[in-house]
Structure 1
């Protein structure tokens, strides 16, 4: 057994996120394990870029209110205790609403050469505003 009492909080990279986002890694796998997980905290208005995962992603919302959107325009409003599963290859984004922080545990199963995430372009201000308006 390994008891980890603390992990460092890191600022998420600006080339993958808009706004202030903070990460605490829970699990960074070493072979043969492939599950990666992190606690991700989004300040109001903060969000990921568009991205996809080779083997999908599961988000467990721990605090606040947020949004998860897909390329086809589907957007869901999420809050603490809810789970969102994004299938393999689906381009999506997630983040906080404009007035409330949101935190989630993000879980991905890597593809053997990393966590299997393909990072894409930022979610535009217009796309974000449309997502907010569609879930009010």
Structure 2
């Protein structure tokens, strides 16, 4: 093999690998709604963004938010007094209820979080994750608990 041919193959392979890594860790998912603002509270590990689509009020106790998680980002363990529904719109994520196995989530999946059941959700370790969270606040807001340990996350 000539040096030029080798160099071409090497550069092509390197460029292709870089493009795959860039796509793998991208948070520029093709989503219906804007990514929103970076979440700056301690209820999340890693980087996540929130775009509120509706907020609850006296006429309608339902809040709807578009949440984008970067790889490895996740919520703390938490529960919702009236439950929650998650609509997966892009990426690969995880969902786990206390005492259950972690579920892998893909675009198009729907999760119904039962009322008062401890759970967490977030991105997989190598992909962004985008969800629409539909939360009824009629019985109160989310109750935030302890952080999801790396051991729990990787299990």
Please report the TM-score for the alignment, with normalisation by the length of structure 1. 0.85
Confirm whether residue 128 of structure 1 aligns to residue 153 of structure 2.
yes
Q: How does 1:30-49 map to 2 (within 5 A)?
A: 30-49=57-76
Q: Is the 8 A contact 2:35 2:68 kept in 1?
A: no
Q: Is the 8 A contact 2:62 2:138 kept in 1?
A: no
Q: Is the 8 A contact 2:35 2:49 kept in 1?
A: no
Match of 1:57 in 2: 84
Q: Return the match for 2:104 from 77, 82, 100.
A: 77
SS at structure 1 position matched to 2:133:
strand
What is the CA RMSD across the aligned residues, in angstroms?
1.6
Rounded Cα–Cα distance in structure 2 between residues aligned with 1:110 and 1:44: 28
Structure-2 change in CA distance of 1:107 and 1:15 (3 Å): same
Shift of 1:73: 2.9
Rounded Cα–Cα distance in structure 1 between residues aligned with 2:35 and 2:48: 14
Confirm whether residue 101 of structure 1 aligns to residue 89 of structure 2.
no
Rounded Cα–Cα distance in structure 2 between residues aligned with 1:14 and 1:29: 20
SS at structure 1 position matched to 2:153:
helix
Q: Is the 8 A contact 2:91 2:107 kept in 1?
A: yes
Q: Normalized per residue, which structure has more helix?
A: 2
Shift of 1:121: 1.0
Rounded Cα–Cα distance in structure 1 between residues aligned with 2:41 and 2:125: 18
Match of 1:12 in 2: 39
Aligned residues: 123
Structure-2 change in CA distance of 1:68 and 1:8 (3 Å): closer
Match of 2:143 in 1: 118
Structure-2 change in CA distance of 1:8 and 1:66 (3 Å): closer
**Greater C-alpha radius of gyration:** 2
